[in-house]
Amino acid sequence: MAVAHGHDDHHHGELHNPMEPTRQEQIVMNRFGLWLFCFSEVFLFMALLAARFYLWRDPVQGALRPELEQGPALIFTCVLLVSSWFMNRAEVASANEDMKTFNQSLAMTFVMGLIFLLGVIFYEWGLGLAHPHILPTDGAFGAVFFAMTGMHAIHVITGLIFVAIVWRNGNLGHYSREDHWGVEACAIYWHYVDLVWIFFYPAIYLIGIGVHIPGH
């Protein structure tokens, strides 16, 4: 009832939009939309950080943190941050239509992201250990630790899927010098997930007085 056909002369209901944005205009909008999405997600991660600073504190001592092993966490963090460099390299390669570097760099990004993810799941969460360092039921420490690392891990998984799709579509020849929006979007997202970790890592592992969790 509400929508009449603008052009009846087009065949088979295939309507043409006279004001359809060009591909370049659409990419500009996509870019702004993705940055807005990143901004929106800032509120998600800020809420988790707020929970961390609200709950992990002592009225007298101030900020607290669970005593966790520092070495592996630092290594996983470095691996994730270096993967951002490869992601950037892949994006530049895609802009230069350099398929070899593109493939190499994306593979590196994927592997390093996967190392980080597996490190979090099997070491930090202790799924691969006989005696985990921390459990979800360990008071506010366990709850917020698993909420923060878990929410970040979901984003890393999304990023890995994104990298895999971009790798496949790149090898199908979908990206060109003029239009490699898919790679750019993937890169923005990947850098963003890394950036979040730059805030999460010190909040979880560095800030505050370490408290040993009994029983681990």
Partner 1 sequence: MKYFLTSALTKGLVGQILTFIVSYGLIRNFRKTVSGWEVPAPELSGWQAPYDEPAMVLATIISLFGFLLACGVVSDWLKMMAGQKPHLKHGAQGKPEWTRYINIDVNHKVIGIQYGLNSIFILLVGGLLAILFRLELALPGLQFLQDGSQYNTLFSAHGIIMIAAIFAGVGAMTNYLGPVLIGASDMSFPRLNAFSYWVGVPSAVILLAGIFMGGWDTGWVGYPTHSTTTQMIGVQMFLLGFYLNGFSSIASGLNMVVTAVYMRAKGMSYFRMPIFVWAAVAASILQATTTQTVGVALTMVVAQRTLGMNFFTPVISPELLAAGVPAGDPILFQHIFWFYSHPAVYVWILPGLGIISELLPVFTRKPLFGYKWIALSSIGIALVGMLVWAHHMLTSSMPPAWKIPFMLSTLLVAVPTGVKFFSWLATIWEGKMRFPTPMLFVLGAISVFLLGGLSGPILGTIATDMHLHDTYFVVGHFHATIFGGFVFPFFAAIYYWFPKITGKMYDELLGKIHFWIMVPGFWVMSLLQMRVGVLGMRRRIADYGSDLGIQVEHALITVATLAIGWSILIMLYNLITSARKEELAPENPWESRSPEFLAPSPLPEFNYLAPIEVVGEPYDYGLEGATYAVVPTPAGD
Residues engaged in binding partner 1 (CB under 8 A) = 1-7, 12-15, 17-21, 25-26, 28-30, 32-33, 36-37, 39-44, 46-48, 50-51, 54-58, 64, 66, 136-144, 146-147, 165, 168-169, 172, 174, 211-215
Q: Kindly tell me which of 82 and 158 has the beta carbon lying closer to partner 1.
A: 158
What number of CA atoms fall less than 13 Å from residue 76's CA on the CB side?
A: 23
Cα(13)–Cα(5) distance, integer angstroms: 9
Those residues whose C-beta lies under 8 Å from the C-beta of residue 199, and which sit 6 or more positions away, are 45, 49
> To the nearest whole angstrom, how small is the minimum distance from the Cβ of residue 75 to partner 1?
26
Of the pair 16, 100, the CB lying nearest partner 1 is at 16
Q: Which of 86, 87, 209, 193 has the alpha carbon at shortest distance from 149? A: 193
In sequence order, the 6+-apart residues with CB closer than 8 A to the CB of 108 are 83, 86
Closest CA to 195 of 63, 87, 59: 87
Distance CA 137, CA 140 (A): 8
Q: Residue 67 or residue 98: which is nearer to partner 1 going by CB?
A: 67
Q: Which is nearer to partner 1, 81 or 142 (CB)?
A: 142
Shortest separation between residue 168's beta carbon and partner 1, angstroms: 6
Spatial distance between the Cα atoms of 137 and 117, rounded to a whole number of angstroms: 22
Least distance to partner 1 from the beta carbon of 110, Å?
Answer: 16
Please report how close the Cβ of residue 214 comes to partner 1 at its closest, in angstroms. Answer: 5
Residue 84: CB minimum distance to partner 1, A: 23
| Shortest spacing between CB 85 and partner 1, in angstroms | 26
Of 81 and 174, which has the nearer Cβ to partner 1?
A: 174
Rounded CA separation 155/189 (Å): 9
Instruction: Quickly count: other Cβ atoms within 10 Å of residue 27's Cβ.
Output: 17
Nearer to partner 1, 67 or 81 (CB): 67
